[in-house]
Structure formats: C-alpha cells, structure tokens
Structure 1
Amino acid sequence: MGFNELINSDTPVLVDFYANWCGPCKMMSPMLEELKDKIGEKAKIVKIDIDKNPQAADKYGVRSVPTLMVFKQGKLLWRQSGVVPVHQLESIIGQYA
C-alpha cells in the first residue's frame, strides 16, 4: 500500500519521519511500540525513513527528525517535531479515532 492510500484511510495514521542516524529517533522506537500496544486498531503507525523517502519529507516540510504527524482521510491533523511522550500521542490519537 502506498503512502497516499495509507493516509487517505478512515483510520488515523501516525507517521513517524525518522532517520537511522538520529539519536532521538532511536528513543521514539520503543515508545511507538508501546503506543501500538495501547491503541490497538484505533490507528496505524507508520515509520518513514527520510533518507529513503526524501520526496515524502520534502512534501511535508520535514526539517528535523523525529517529526510525527497524524493524518486521517488524507488531511494532516497534527504535527510535532521531537520526542513526544506515549501518553500525549495516545491522547492525540484518541481525539481523531
């Protein structure tokens, strides 16, 4: 499934723009796993490597990593750069689920 099909879903999609060389991105990984366990089917979580997908990073103006975004039905509903705590992400997804 392509990125555009994914973000056009009726289910919220949390996109994590990351890079392998990014220290804070490494901190986000286990947090996203924990979030996935907590939210179950309420939302999808997708990781996008900006080095492998520079066009996606450019399209959404990703200048620093990690940058997290929530999409639903193709609309960007929320974005934040930096490490975001699990409870905050869970609350944000809850608003859109």
Structure 2
Amino acid sequence: MSNVTEVNAANFDSMLAGELPVLVDFWAPWCGPCRMLSPVVDELAGELEGKVTVVKCNVDENQDLAMRFGVMSIPTVVLLKDGAEAMRSVGAVPKPKLKADIEANL
C-alpha cells in the first residue's frame, strides 16, 4: 500500500516544500462520499508514486486549512504545484476521471 500522509496545520507547509506536486484529499470521517473516494485516492497514490505526493486533510480537525483553500464541499481533491492550485475536483468522481485530471496537470 502506498504512503498517504495525514496533514495538519503543523506539517502542511513542509509537505508543500517538497519537489513533487501535492495532491490534497479534503475529507471527514462522517462523509459518505469521502469514504467512497478514499480508497480511490489511496490507489492513485500508489499508481502515481514518484510523480505526486498524496496527503489527506481531515476538515473537522483542520478547519483553517479547509478555509485557506476555499473548501466548501467534501470530498474535495486539490492538486498543488509550486504551492499554487493546478486542479480541483469536488465530489466522489470515478477513478479514471480523477486520474486523467491529475495527470493532465502534472
């Protein structure tokens, strides 16, 4: 299984400092669509290893990060390149679409 890091306000900016783009999965434990999307994000982390760093952000525990990125609905997946948003996907989208959107913006 791939290495997906749980981020919070303390370690988020250090994750952005890496060389790879960062894919952030904004989610919450009570969110049904988030639970559907979570294994997809985990699979993509393995498939895109070496191309992108995948992290998950629990919006209940990190409301400041959710506000910083304007997350209004979850799940929201945001691809950050050089600290700037390159792609955003809202809702439980099918894996092929999410992967294509990510790869198109790497």
Q: TM-score, normalised by structure 1?
A: 0.88
Q: TM-score, normalised by structure 2?
A: 0.81
Distance 2:31 2:54 in 1: 19
Unaligned 5+ runs, structure 1: none
The alpha carbon displacement at 1:41 in A equals 1.5
The alpha carbon displacement at 1:92 in A equals 2.6
1:11 maps to what in 2? 20
Q: Could you say what the CA RMSD is over the residues aligned between the two structures, in angstroms?
A: 1.6
Distance 2:18 2:98 in 1: 19
Unaligned 5+ runs, structure 2: 1-9
For residues 12-51 of structure 1, what are the structure 2 equivalents within 5 Å?
12-51=21-60
- The number of equivalent residue pairs is 97
Point out 4+ residue stretches in structure 1 off by more than 6 angstroms. Answer: none
Matched position secondary structure for 2:48: helix
The alpha carbon displacement at 1:94 in A equals 2.1
